[in-house]
Amino acid sequence: MWGTDIDECANKDVPPCSESEVCYNTQGSYRCLCPNGTHGEHYNGTCYQSYQSYQSQKLPLAVKLVTGICVSLLIIVIIVLCIHIILERRKLIKFKEENFRQHGGLLLLEEIGKRQGVAFKMFTEEDLEQATNKFHKNNIIGHGSYGTVYKGILKDNRVVAIKRAKIINERQKKEFGKEMLILSQINHKNVVKLLGCCLEVEVPMLVYEYISSGTLFQLIHGIGHRIYISLETRLKIALESAEALAYLHSSASPPIIHGDVKSSNILLDDHLMAKVSDFGASMLAPKDEKQFVTLVQGTCGYLDPEYLQTCQLIDKSDVYSFGVVLLELLTGKKALRFEGTEIETSLSSNFLSAMKEGRFSELLDDQIKYDEEVERINETAELAKACLNVKGEDRPSMKEIVEELDRLKKMKQHPWEQHNDAEIESLLDNPSSYCEEENTGFYSLEKKAMLSMEPGR
């Protein structure tokens, strides 16, 4: 059993350690250690100052002063840098807030809050940078004079297409929020859905649903090699595209004119369903109190000549451009090429000349040139010709085009299938009504053939 411990270090009369040493009491004994910065034989009472400590004490005053100034300057630089970063961050935030306000973001947020069922999101710049790997060039899926389109993946793993335009003018800035609200309400299976936008940047960015199988331009003209496209598929794509444009013209509120209809603005999904994109070219401009029209540049080869003369964009301008798309589907040729004569350069001019001279079949795509359904091809060509009338008022409306394409699509080998039973029964009961008509159309011939086959006729 241990006795009572005596603290030898507390004995002031007879210190157990030398003056240069530090005494540490232990159980039943004590220890003498050299203080920090020294070393030596503490039992002999010899503690020497370490070399580093000795050298530091020998540093000249000037060196110490310079060292102190350098350290102070470094601290000041760090403080100034931190202040600069904070000020720049505040400046950036203010810049984003100002852009958001100028683009009508506050109005857009307020209106979206009032309207239920509007699935439209306001994205931040950071959201879209993260989705596109900071807009990496490998994510580019389309570009042109208007700007660049990137493929992106949002935080919820949705794949989207992000359109990053190049410029925007002051007038467009003021109307942007209102126009986005209009575009956000467009809901049609053949129109690419606008999911949201980013307004905190100088030029707003738009976020669309991603369509997987490229554009109609790529399908028709091929990338490296072409695939076979049947007449049925061509008419299906034409009909779906026309339905989208008819919806924009007649059912959207307010009506919207696309302004840049072309094969590269018609996207295709995995099932080759057509989806019109860039409707409104991302911008709308008020024409009057009831109608909004798009403010666009258009594309050479598709531009309505009347629009070029009057600078007034109307729904029939879309009709003209759609007529050129119909020609692409029928001929497999591009709207504009940079070789041949002046007429051969423009597909529409070449087509109209060929129709006038009765040599349209020379322009037909080889894939459908020898198709047995010649009449259906010819009627489609007549529809394209009507769309390309010089005067807009002489062109059909998109609704009329939809009706005609739907008729042509249903015609197939037996055109009478498109009529309902009541119509056919009426025709059979009144054969003279068809005899009085001009015997010029395919329907007239087929119906007369039906009548001649009826028993007792």
User: Residue positions in the annotated binding site?
Assistant: 163
* Type of residue at 208: Y
Three-class SS of residue 274?
strand
C-alpha triplet 50, 54, 56: angle, nearest 5°: 120
- Strand segments, DSSP code E, in 130-273 are 140-144, 147-153, 159-165, 194-198, 205-209, 266-268
Question: Strand, helix or coil at 35?
Answer: coil
Which residue carries 């015609």 as its tokens? Answer: 411
Binding-site residues for ATP sit at 163
φ and ψ of 86, to 5 deg: -65, -45
Closest alpha carbon to 53 in 73, 34, 75, 29: 34
Return the structure tokens found at 278.
């860039």
Under 8 Å CB-to-CB from 406, ≥6 apart: which residues? 239
**Positions marked active-site:** 260
Q: Are 291 and 207 in contact (CB under 8 A)?
A: no
Cα atoms found within 13 Å of the Cα of residue 187, Cβ hemisphere only: 6
Count of residues for the chain?
457
In 135-231, the DSSP E strands lie at 140-144, 147-153, 159-165, 194-198, 205-209
